[in-house]
Amino acid sequence: MAGELLQLTITQAGAALAAGDFSAHELAQAHLDAMESARGLNAFTAETPERALTMADAADQRRAQGETLGPLDGIPIAVKDLFCTEGVLSTAGSHILDGFTPTYESTVTRNLWAAGAVMLGKTNMDEFAMGSANVTSHYGPCINPWQASSGDSVGKDLVPGGSSGGSAAAVAARIALGAIGTDTGGSIRQPGAFCGVVGLKPTYGRCSRWGVIAFASSLDQAGPLTRTVRDGALMLGAMAGHDPMDSTSVDAPVPDYATALTGDIKGMRIGVPAEYRMDGMPGEIETLWRQGRDWLEHAGAAIVDISLPHTKYALPTYYIVAPAEASSNLARYDGVRYGLRVDGEDMTDTYEKTRAAGFGPEVKRRVMIGTYVLSAGYYDAYYLQAQKVRTRIANDFRAAWEVCDVILTPTAPSAAFAIGEKMDDPIAMYLNDIFTVPASMAGLPAISVPAGLSADGLPLGLQLIGPAFAEETMLRTADVLESAAGFTAKPSW
Amino acid sequence: MTATTTDTAPDHLSGHVTTRIGHNQKDLVEGATGPWEVIIGLEVHAQVTSEAKLFSGASTAFGAAPNSQVSLVDAGMPGMLPVINGECVRQAVRTGLGLGAQINLRSVFDRKNFFYPDMPQGYQISQFTQPIVGEGRITVDLPDGESFEVGIERLHLEQDAGKSIHDQHPQKTYIDLNRSGVALMEIVSRPDLRSAEEAAAYLSKLRSILRYLGTCDGDMSQGSMRADVNVSVRRPGEELGTRCEIKNVNSLRFVRQAIDYEARRQIDILEDGGEIDQETRLFDANRGETRSMRSKEEAHDYRYFPDPDLLPVVLEQSLVDALKVGLPELPDAKKARFIDAYELSAYDAGVLVAERETAEYFEAVVDPEGAKRDPKLAANWVTAELFGRLNAADLDIAGSPVAAAQLGGLIDLIADNTISGRIAKDVFAAMFDSGKDAGDIVAEKGLKQITDSGAIEALIDQLIADNPQQAEQYRGGNTKVAGWFTGQAMKATQGQANPQMVNQILKDKLGG
Amino acid sequence: MALDTDTVRRIARLARIYIPEEDLEPLAGELSNIIGWVEQLAEVDTDGVEPMTSVVEITPEQREDVVNDGGYRDRVLANAPDTADGFFTVPKVIE
């Protein structure tokens, strides 16, 4: 029976809990056992079994009294280590936050616990969310539960994508019914695609950033990773909402996203941007994209060719804006108030030694880039120009919404690759996010839906991008896409 | 407070442009090789009067136990976000209006990036290219009655840093974050000041305006106001010289000392053929000197950029208008009214309006519900007797044992000849010590003035009879002896005889 | 623009990250590659384009001026590497 509990969706598990088929305690225990036996994936940086069972027992007690907190009551989930969780180690995958145990709980996780969700543990991630392969974590790489069936990667451990690699792997490996991640330039969607799960990044401002360790403040946004679009809708409903503690959080009512999944997209206009058809894109990605078009057209949507002229500039824009913000956001890791301190001869020496020891190479690289592009004499040429290009990118999308309701693109330019690949060339690694970054730069909601397998038997995702706060339209389309794709493959783990 | 955590107006913004036209010959400093002009600009950091901090709900109260008024935001904990305190924004707007300055309806918070252990975020949230208040101008009065105008370049909001304490431990610095995040207004003047006296007068005037507005308590001893002083020297009429910035000077006296020392230092260097290094200096109050900061960074590069955690501050014009309507009468307007309505001298009016509480006290003495008392008499009593006793007792006017109504009562007793001015001083002393009303003290001590002419005549007759020699001298033409007789009469009555009546009766009797 | 080792040293100093002397050269190469790549943005015509300040078009609420936070020194100091008498402590700073 325990094995069956792991194969459910959140929607199914919720119905079974309601029917009394099993208890939240049993559900949590099954997932805790799975977490333990899957330690080889290195998907978790902290396990919280006692907390999980306490929370599950509370859910069972509520249910025994005829109360329930909603569709997530008693549902075990995993939390990316970027979220501060009270009394639980929170490190952002970095050595510099050694031992950091917050005395506070992030708004998003607090919302989830208030909805009855059960915390299994904290998931592995790229250090400070800087990476696309989960290889920059201080705690070592997380391993993708999928294995290649043919090709160069056969027999090799694959990356789960990043930065929310642990969350994606945990959901794919049936360790958690759902997980939360954060997306700055694709950090939910790209690992979602690599691990064959749904990755949803809501509109910037939809979920509070309070208590989420900041990478790039103007881009960071929390979202769920789940096995179905409907599960993602349920989780987002619990996570989202206005937070007076976050000035960039939007004060707008949270819709019941699941009710938007009507299956009806007749007349919906699906934009297909010419600029996403890039040189050197693998044929199977191109094929899948065309397949996605056909599925949606078949469901009654109209396909519209659109142009997003500044697409090719989104990634370099991102690699100015995000490092600039990060260089400032990470200045607080100075060894004074929390985390690692390496004593030096004086204060400056202490700073330099602490940060040299505490940050890994990719974080150092980005902090240096960010420091450089903001420094005197370079600000206008780099940062200011990037923010102007960003306006152009946002304007491209604004123009597109005149002619379409949702945009369809591939999520990533390849399937998961082997751990160790692309390590020597930062830019090659950055190109993983080429399709996800433009929506991030414009703050738009986007979702990756698993849509097929590569020739090597690895999952591939398609991305839908919606207008700001049009999550319902986007999710309705994603639900139809998911049904049409009928992705049922499971990782071999 | 740390030396490096306060803001320097960016050079390319400040332009270092003086709007002062001409100069006072008397302000020139004589060097060995001729006269020099001293050019001074002030960046004043004024703590905004507010209950809570600029971006958090922690208290701003002074003097609490270390780290007891620190929120997670103020401590720069991971994932913490700033949310602006609306009252701090309104206080900045009120101040801008009080300085006659441009209010910018859209302003932006930037991050100023640098490391210092009492600055938890690794950056200070400040306003760089788009401050909330733009150009303004204030009139400053000098003790000699002259006045001059000083240009205000800008006012911006920023957060204070914590406090580093270096003397608690031989190898360690202690960090208290209670001040971290407290709202400051940085008020940047044009380099329109030409002497230490002018700088001090400007700072006093600014303090007075802020206190009237209720936007800063101006308490320099608690660090509520402190100044970064920019000093350069030049030959009269020549280009501006290289300036040095003296950080965090926290009293009027130190501002004067720092400027005088720094100007002399620069003149000596230049006259010896040297050059001034543009640098940040500290004022050492014990030695009365400025010195180069040992910790100054090789090169400051603050990497300002708009804080992505905060959206631009957008103000409605209607809010600005409403705040303008709500402003109190400010010192300049009050002074003009005192001169006009009460016919006070400019000097007296200036003294009375320097502090809002004093001006209110004075008006409560003169004009309680239209009962006009003699304003000049009231001004004299407030500025001479009351101030003298308050100073001696180290009290401010709010702590005065004599309420305005009580001083008014005393003045009424003088006006209706119940007591003489001389007796009134004794009565006032008793009032100050006891807190009692003037009338009660006069009654208790029997100090009522003798105005019974029969009694005074009898007394004079007796004095003339007892002192025939002096009476003879008077009749022989030595009229000065009259003063001696008056003194005797007052002495005999313990000062209670009406002096005018004594004089008149003496004249009548002796002259007869 | 290619970054030389002096620039990398200066940037590392600003960022307070110690970089061993022998690492400066390879790091300069890596950073130069990235900077060279992002410089393609210079081709974009941005005349008259306002820089993005926020992707959300809202006027945020402002905080009321009430004291409702702080007063929990233990929570503030809980993760500190070194404290004394309620203070954070660091190696002596010389001004």
Task: Identify the contact set of chain A against chain B, taking CB-CB distances under 8 A.
Answer: 83-84, 90, 92, 97, 100, 102-104, 106, 209-214, 216-218, 244-248, 324-325, 327-328, 330-332, 334, 336-338, 347-348, 351, 371, 374-376, 379, 383
- The string of DSSP letters for B455-475 reads HHHHHHHHHHHH-HHHHHHHH
Partner residue opposite B83 with nearest CB, options A100, A245, A324: A245
How many C-beta atoms surround the C-beta of residue B63 within 10 A? 7
Q: How far apart are the first and last CA of chain B?
A: 78
ipTM value: 0.97
Residues B426 and B498 in one domain: no
Over residues B205-229, the pLDDT tens digits come to: 999 999 999 999 999 988 999 999 9
C86 in contact with chain B, both atoms CB, cutoff 8 A:
yes
Buried b (16+ CB within 10 A) or exposed e, A243-268: bbbbbbbbeeebbebbebbeeebeeb
Q: In whole angstroms, how far apart are CA A397 and each of A191, A207, A387, A444, B365? A: 24, 22, 16, 9, 70
Contact at CB, C73 and B89, closer than 8 angstroms: no
Between strands A269-273 and A406-410, the pairing is parallel
Residues B414 and B274 in one domain: no
Which pLDDT does position B6 carry in this prediction?
36
A366: left (phi over 0), alpha (psi -120 to 50) or beta: alpha
Say whether pLDDT at A230 is over 60: yes
Query: What mean pLDDT do residues B374-387 have?
Result: 93
How many C-beta atoms surround the C-beta of residue B27 within 10 A? 16
Instruction: Tell me the pLDDT band of B1, cut-offs 50, 70 and 90.
Output: very low
List the domain boundaries for chain C. Answer: 5-42
Contact at CB, C95 and B293, closer than 8 angstroms: yes
Over residues B280-289, the pLDDT tens digits come to: 999 999 999 9
Contact present, A191 and A201 (Cβ < 8 Å)? no
Q: In whole angstroms, how far apart are CA A138 and each of B124, B439, C75? A: 29, 84, 26
Which pLDDT does position B13 carry in this prediction?
39
Say whether pLDDT at A345 is over 80: yes
Chain B: touching chains (3 or more CB pairs < 8 Å) = A, C
Residues B76 and B220 in one domain: yes
Over residues B341-360, the pLDDT tens digits come to: 999 999 899 999 999 999 99
How many C-beta atoms surround the C-beta of residue A342 within 10 A? 18
Over residues B415-447, the pLDDT tens digits come to: 888 888 888 998 999 999 999 998 898 888 777
Say whether pLDDT at A419 is over 50: yes
Residue B499 structural domain:
453-511
Which pLDDT does position B512 carry in this prediction?
53
Between strands A118-123 and A44-47, the pairing is antiparallel
Residues B462 and B394 in one domain: no
Over residues C21-61, the pLDDT tens digits come to: 999 999 999 999 999 999 999 999 999 999 998 888 888 88
Contact present, B176 and B2 (Cβ < 8 Å)? no
Instruction: Tell me the pLDDT band of B298, cut-offs 50, 70 and 90.
Output: low
Alpha-carbon torsion (A19, A20, A21, A26), positive or negative: positive
Which pLDDT does position B503 carry in this prediction?
85
Q: Which of B188, B174, B153, B157 is nearest to B44 (CA)?
A: B188
The chain-wide mean pLDDT, for chain B, equals 90
Residues B148 and B183 in one domain: yes
* Residues from chain B contacting residue C69 (CB–CB below 8 Å): 52, 56-58, 71-73
Residues 6 or more apart in contact with residue A424 via CB below 8 angstroms: none
Residues B167 and B232 in one domain: yes
Say whether pLDDT at A425 is over 90: no
Contact present, A202 and A471 (Cβ < 8 Å)? yes
Helix B421-434 to helix B438-445 angle, to the nearest 10 degrees? 110
List the domain boundaries for chain A. Answer: 2-264+415-485
Over residues B452-492, the pLDDT tens digits come to: 778 888 888 888 888 888 888 888 888 788 888 888 888 88
Residues B215 and B364 in one domain: no
How many C-beta atoms surround the C-beta of residue B405 within 10 A? 11
Say whether pLDDT at B9 is over 50: no
Query: What mean pLDDT do residues A45-60 have?
Result: 98
Number of separate domains in chain B: 3
What's the one-letter identity of residue A286?
Answer: E
Q: Domain boundary at B427, B445, B463, which?
A: B445
Distance between CA atoms of residues B69 and B82, nearest Å: 16
* Residues from chain B contacting residue C78 (CB–CB below 8 Å): none
Percent of chain C with pLDDT over 90: 84
The chain-wide mean pLDDT, for chain A, equals 97
Residues B151 and B45 in one domain: yes
Query: What mean pLDDT do residues A94-119 have?
Result: 98
Over residues A435-490, the pLDDT tens digits come to: 999 999 999 999 999 999 999 999 999 999 999 999 999 999 999 999 999 999 99
How many C-beta atoms surround the C-beta of residue A67 within 10 A? 11
The nearest CA of chain B is from the CA of A326 a distance in Å of: 11
Contact at CB, B115 and A383, closer than 8 angstroms: no
Which pLDDT does position B21 carry in this prediction?
60
Active site residues per annotation of A:
80, 163, 187
What's the one-letter identity of residue A102?
Answer: P
User: To which H or E segment does residue A37 belong?
Assistant: helix A24-37
Residues B120 and B165 in one domain: yes
Q: What phi and psi values does residue A82 have, to the nearest 5 degrees?
A: -85, -15
**Does A2-264+415-485 carry CATH code 1.20.58.340?**
no
- Does a structural domain hold residue B15? no
Classify A330 as helix, strand or coil: helix
Tracing tokens 């009259």 back to the chain, one arrives at B482
Instruction: Tell me the pLDDT band of B22, cut-offs 50, 70 and 90.
Output: low
Helices (H), B117-250: 196-213
Beta bridge partners of A78: A121, A179
- Does a structural domain hold residue B100? yes
Which pLDDT does position B449 carry in this prediction?
74
DSSP 3-state helix, strand, coil percentages of chain C (rounded to 5)? Answer: 40, 10, 50
Residues B226 and B368 in one domain: no
| pTM metric for this prediction | 0.91
Which pLDDT does position A365 carry in this prediction?
97
The residue count for chain B? 512
Classify B294 as helix, strand or coil: coil
Distance between CA atoms of residues B284 and A362, nearest Å: 45
Contact present, A34 and A174 (Cβ < 8 Å)? yes
pLDDT, greater one: A376 or B501: A376
Alpha-carbon torsion (A451, A455, A458, A460), positive or negative: negative
Which pLDDT does position B418 carry in this prediction?
83
Residues 6 or more apart in contact with residue A12 via CB below 8 angstroms: none
* Residues from chain B contacting residue C53 (CB–CB below 8 Å): 108, 306, 311-312
* Residues from chain B contacting residue A210 (CB–CB below 8 Å): 79-81
Distance between CA atoms of residues B258 and B224, nearest Å: 19
- The string of DSSP letters for A254-318 reads PP-GGGG--S--TTPEEEEEGGGS-TT--HHHHHHHHHHHHHHHHTTPEEEEE--TTHHHHHHHH
A193 CB-side CA count, 13 A = 33
Over residues A178-210, the pLDDT tens digits come to: 999 999 999 999 999 999 999 999 999 999 999
Instruction: Tell me the pLDDT band of A1, cut-offs 50, 70 and 90.
Output: low
Distance between CA atoms of residues B402 and B499, nearest Å: 27
Residues 6 or more apart in contact with residue A473 via CB below 8 angstroms: A260, A268, A405, A406, A466, A467
The nearest CA of chain C is from the CA of B284 a distance in Å of: 12
Say whether pLDDT at A407 is over 80: yes
Lay out the sheet containing C87-91: strands in order across.
B163-165, B172-176, C87-91, C83-84
Which pLDDT does position B12 carry in this prediction?
38
Beta bridge partners of B497: B450
Over residues B111-164, the pLDDT tens digits come to: 999 999 999 999 999 999 999 999 999 999 888 878 899 999 999 999 999 999
Which pLDDT does position C2 carry in this prediction?
85
Distance between CA atoms of residues A378 and A364, nearest Å: 19
Residues B380 and B469 in one domain: no
Instruction: Tell me the pLDDT band of B448, cut-offs 50, 70 and 90.
Output: confident
Residues B284 and B191 in one domain: yes
CA torsion angle B385 B386 B388 B393 (round to 10): 140
Chain C: touching chains (3 or more CB pairs < 8 Å) = A, B
- Does a structural domain hold residue B202? yes
Say whether pLDDT at A317 is over 60: yes
The nearest CA of chain C is from the CA of B83 a distance in Å of: 6
- The string of DSSP letters for B123-157 reads EEEE--SS-SB--EEEEEE-TTS-EEEEEEEEEEE
Contact at CB, B56 and C58, closer than 8 angstroms: no
- Does a structural domain hold residue B1? no
Query: What mean pLDDT do residues A387-407 have?
Result: 98
Which pLDDT does position B15 carry in this prediction?
43
Copy the structure tokens of residue A441.
């730069």
Query: Can you give the three-state secondary structure of A144-156, one letter per residue?
Result: CCCCCCCCCCCCC
Distance between CA atoms of residues A433 and B255, nearest Å: 57
Q: Which of A386, A390, A374, A381 is nearest to A326 (CA)?
A: A374
Classify A360 as helix, strand or coil: coil
Say whether pLDDT at B450 is over 80: no
Query: What mean pLDDT do residues A407-419 have?
Result: 97
